[in-house]
Amino acid sequence: MSQTSVPGQGANAHTATDATAAAQRAAELRIELARHNRAYYEDDAPLIPDAEYDRLFGELVALENDFPELQRPDSPTQRVGGKPVEGFAPVVHRVPMLSLNNGFADEDVEAFDRRVSDGLRDVNGVNGASGAGSAGGVGGVGGAGGVNTTPNSTGDLFGTPVEYAAELKFDGLAIALRYEQGVLVQAATRGDGTTGEDVTANIRTIKKIPLKLDTDNPPDVLEVRGEVLMFRADFDKLNQAQEAAGEKVFVNPRNAAAGSLRQLDSRITAKRPLSFFAYGIGELIGATMPETHSALLDWYVTLGIPVNERREVVKGADGLLKFYREVGEARASLPYDIDGVVYKVNRRDEQDRLGFVSRAPRFALAHKFPAQEALTTLLDIEVQVGRTGAITPVARLAPVFVGGATVTNATLHNEDEIRRKDVMIGDTVIVRRAGDVIPEVVGSVLDRRPADARAFVMPTACPVCGSAIEKLPDEAIARCTGGLICAAQRKQALLHFAQRRALDIEGLGDKLVEQLVDQQIIRTPADLFKLGVAKLAALDRMADKSASNLVAALEKARHTTLARFIFALGIRHVGEATAKDLARHFGKLDNLIAVCKRDSDLTELLAVPDVGPIVAESINNFFCEDHNVEVIEQLRAAGVTWPESEPAAAAPLPLAGKTFVLTGTLPTLSRDEAKAMLEALGAKVAGSVSAKTDYVVAGAEAGSKLAKAEALGVPVLDEDAMRAMLAAL
């Protein structure tokens, strides 16, 4: 700290000899410290007293301060981050971090095993399975004894069970660690799977995670994936310390780990006893991918990356279930929390062949332990009014600790659900956290039902506005008919308008909306933009600072996109995805409004993907309400803007809204080519003929579809006629 030394300018405070000596000493210290770290954390046998460790550590810090050119990202000193950072930078995962399919019952595991074997057999076709040979057993796999040998004859396919890597499913946080040339350069949270947060500074403080891989020949890039967690004993100690210091205690190890990783000041994280286990891989450049998952983890071990020892290679559903039972029995005695086990097809080539369904790999299954359940008393059932007027009964429970959190509320969804579960007010009920998050009432304990238990009665009038509650015969949900008369619905509409995926008005939460609506300061979203600092500051829990923050947030929210704006309007059945479709299709809001004003002609709306008759009707109704159009005008007048794309709708695709069905073999076009041609012009190509079909394009050997088209009087074209028609557009 005494002086600022300028690297590369030896003429300053330090001579060249100084620098050389310092570099040498720093290197010695790093090796020494790394050795002690290993002894302390991995062998659990410290070689020197803590104070001595601290002294060596301090010496290295001082050296690095005096000679900044000695600072390296893999130095032990980098484990304790410097100064707090502003938030966390986003990190886009080059290979997405997917979630796993879940199973709870033995049947789920058997079904998984069946899907996998079938999948491998199908893709394989006549080539036969290339699964690991029947001999060799568990241990032999990682060795990958030679190149994939000749496929077995197809005869024993059914008898060859698939080989799986089975491991624990830790209750922590998924993290991706990026090593470049063997040095840890970045650590990111899973986030939404596509984009996570950069928590490198915090991860560096976890002593079990090597800053440098233990190899002379590291891959150019290795992205290790695994779980950050906190051991129970560490968690207990941490909580004792927190309590003693008057700080808040954590409810469970997972939360403690999450809270620690989310510290902006990594010096705090450094004091938290976090651990890590690797279980997967993202990017790998400059090294050969091991042939099996188990071999990958073996490799990790040699690199000094912590891998949990409780893992096995097993065969078939029987092997999986055996592993599950053994782990289940050991669960309570494990030093950390797990919420289940994970099975992965062991061979990578088989994994690749199985591929993915939507967002989860087909080759893996998370087999979870039954959700923790607890008993408590159902104190009351109240109803809530949602944005669309949906009346939702909510269970008020005597607080009960279940699955790592205290639960006091749980949704009961609707009347049918209450009847199905047979719960009455006063009952002792079983509560669990579905998927370990959302509290759920499983059912009631009938022999503990008190004599004075009351059945829930759906109110006939809205508890908020008094309007009638109506339940359509074929719907499960009862709704308040009050619409925007109902304060509850207005509040929800405003919250929806302000939510992140809509206009993203930061700081406009439920408490504030509650006040604004109750005191009749605002009625519609447009009124929000008329708020001034003075008016806001008069509210509870709203000083000048928060008030001006909100005004600033409103200012920021004025600039948005058409898709967000349409979504924000809260049109029934129009969520984020449909709003995007509408924005893309119409380009300008006025085009959409204009279409709706032309009395109830829904064809243009139906041309939008994923808009069917019900959604079209709902959109049309919305824009036919003068009130709604008025609010939109007010919003625009208040300066809410978005870039409008060029009149996409001025030249709408000529076949928009038309449905075609292809049948038979066309003379020159393949099915896919014909489909692409039609779709490029906005047509929908459906699979079967119905009254909604506009044209059937028939080729040779057309069968029942052609017959049906004729029966329904749907025009039938051949390929030439279709080409002529497209050319004429």
Partner DNA sequence: GATCCTCGAGTTCC
Partner DNA sequence: CTCGAGGATC
**If binding means CB under 7 A, how many residues of this protein chain bind DNA?**
57
- Distances, alpha carbon 723 to alpha carbons 80, 665, 672, 699, 729, in Å: 69, 15, 15, 13, 10
Q: Is 359 exposed, middle or buried (0-12, 13-18, 19+ CB in 10 A)?
A: exposed
- Using CB under 7 A, which of 241, 301, 476, 637 touches DNA? 476
- Beta-carbon contacts of 101 under 8 Å, excluding residues fewer than 6 positions away, are 112, 357, 360, 364, 365, 366
Minimum CB distance to DNA smaller for 375 or for 551: 375
653 in a known ligand binding site: no
Pattern 88-127, binding to DNA, x per CB under 7 A?
Answer: -----------x--x-------------------------
User: CB–CB of 471/479 below 8 Å?
Assistant: yes
CA distances for 697 relative to 217, 603, 712, 713, angstroms: 61, 21, 14, 13
Note whether 694 binds DNA by CB under 7 A. Answer: no
Which residue shows structure tokens 């009847």?
A: 419
If binding is defined by CB under 7 A, does position 600 make contact with DNA?
A: no
**Separation between Cα atoms, residue 698 and residue 717, nearest integer Å:** 6
Q: Is 510 annotated as a binding residue?
A: no
Q: Sign of the C-alpha dihedral, residues 369, 370, 376, 381?
A: positive
Q: Which of 563, 684, 702, 719 binds DNA (CB under 7 A)?
A: 684
The sheet that has 163-170: what strands, in order across it?
A: 101-103, 364-368, 338-345, 163-170, 312-315
Which residues within the stretch 213-252 sit at the binding site for DNA (CB under 7 A)? 251
Q: Which two tokens stand for residue 80?
A: 């304790």
Pairing of strands 479-480, 469-470: antiparallel
Does 248 carry a binding-site annotation?
no
Instruction: Report the amino acid identity of residue 63.
Output: L
Q: Which two tokens stand for residue 301?
A: 């071990």
491 counts as binding DNA under rule CB under 7 A: no
Q: Segment contacting DNA (CB under 7 A): 60-68, 125-133, 160-168, 434-442?
A: 434-442
Q: Which stretch binds DNA (CB under 7 A): 29-37, 133-141, 474-482, 514-522?
A: 474-482
What six digits make up the tokens of 103?
């199973």
- The reply, when asked if residue 190 is annotated as ligand binding, is yes
Residue 190 or 413 with smaller CB distance to DNA: 413
Q: Which stretch binds DNA (CB under 7 A): 62-70, 76-84, 211-219, 431-439?
A: 431-439
Contact characters 534-573, DNA, x per CB under 7 A: ------------------------------------x-xx
Judged by DSSP in three states, 685 sits in strand
Please report, as a single letter, which amino acid is at residue 211.
L
Q: Which of 54, 66, 51, 65 is nearest to 13 (CA)?
A: 66
Smaller CB separation from DNA, 274 or 385? 385
373 marked as binding residue = no
On whether the CB atoms of residues 112 and 106 are closer than 8 A, the answer is: no
Q: Could you tell me the smallest distance in angstroms from the CB atom of residue 363 to DNA?
A: 17
Indicate if 169 belongs to the active site: yes
Least distance to DNA, CB of residue 508, Å: 15
- Indicate the DSSP class of residue 157: G
**Nearest partner of 306 among 165, 175, 166, 140, judged by Cα:** 175
Q: Which helix (H) or strand (E) holds 635?
A: helix 626-637
The CB-of-572 to DNA minimum distance in angstroms stands at 5
Q: Which stretch binds DNA (CB under 7 A): 52-60, 207-215, 288-296, 430-438?
A: 430-438
Find the shortest distance in angstroms from Cβ 640 to DNA: 20
The Cα 119–Cα 415 span in angstroms is: 41
Task: Determine the interface stretch with DNA among 3-11, 435-443, 519-527, 553-561 (rule: CB under 7 A).
Answer: 435-443
Query: Shortest gap between Cβ of 306 and DNA (angstroms)?
Result: 25
Quote the least distance from Cβ 594 to DNA, whole Å: 21
- Residue from 255, 377, 481, 621 binding DNA (CB under 7 A): 255
What does the alpha-carbon distance between residue 414 and residue 393 come to, in Å, rounded to a whole number? 6
Do 304 and 224 touch, CB atoms closer than 8 A? no
- CA–CA dist 468, 482 (Å, integer): 7
Q: Considering only CA atoms, which of 216, 228, 345, 344 is closest in space to residue 278?
A: 228
Residue of the chain from 68, 145, 435, 450 that contacts DNA (CB under 7 A):
435
**Does the annotation list 462 as a binding residue?**
yes
* Residue in 13, 624, 686, 725 binding DNA, rule: CB under 7 A: 686
Query: Do 591 and 558 touch, CB atoms closer than 8 A?
Result: no
Q: Is position 544 annotated in a ligand binding site? A: no
> Using an 8 Å Cβ cutoff, are 485 and 465 in contact?
yes
User: Is 99 annotated as belonging to a binding site?
Assistant: yes
- Using DSSP, state whether 33 is helix, strand or coil: helix
Provide the minimum distance between the beta carbon of 29 and DNA in the complex, in angstroms, as a whole number. Answer: 40
Total H helices, total E strands in the chain: 25, 24
Report the alpha-carbon distance of residue 83 to residue 103 in Å, rounded.
Answer: 43
| Residue carrying the six token digits 């099996």 | 292
Assess contact for 560 and 579: CB atoms under 8 A: no
Pull the structure tokens for residue 137.
């057993």
Task: Say how far apart CA 50 and CA 47 lie, in whole Å.
Answer: 9
470 binds DNA (CB under 7 A): no
Q: Is 596 annotated as a binding residue?
A: no
> Under rule CB under 7 A, which residues in 309-328 are in contact with DNA?
none
User: Measured from the CB of residue 355, what is the shortest distance to DNA in angstroms?
Assistant: 13
Closest to DNA by CB, 471 or 535: 471
Does residue 477 belong to the site contacting DNA (CB under 7 A)?
yes
Q: Any known ligand binding at 558?
A: no
Question: Known binder of ligand: residue 344?
Answer: yes
Catalytic residue, candidates 83, 169, 471, 708:
169
Nearer to DNA, 359 or 556 (CB): 359
Measured between alpha carbons, how far is 224 from 243 in angstroms, rounded to an integer? 35
Residue nearer to DNA on the CB measure, 305 or 486: 486
Q: Among residues 22, 528, 595, 611, which is the contact residue for DNA, using CB under 7 A?
A: 611
Which residues in 380-419 contact DNA (CB under 7 A)?
Answer: 384, 386-390, 392, 394, 405-411, 413-414, 416-417
Pick the binder of DNA from 6, 92, 438, 461 (CB under 7 A).
438
Nearer to DNA, 187 or 615 (CB): 615
Which residues, at least 6 apart from 67, have a Cβ–Cβ distance to it below 8 Å?
5, 7, 14, 19, 22, 23, 26
Provide the annotated binding site for NAD(+): 50-54, 99-100, 167, 190, 227, 344, 368
* Residues annotated as part of the active site: 169
Provide the annotated binding site: 50-54, 99-100, 167, 190, 227, 344, 368, 462, 465, 486
**Where along the sequence are the contacts to DNA (CB under 7 A)?**
99, 102, 251, 255, 357-358, 384, 386-390, 392, 394, 405-411, 413-414, 416-417, 434-435, 437-440, 474-477, 492, 570, 572-579, 609-616, 684, 686-688
Provide the annotated binding site for Zn(2+): 462, 465, 486
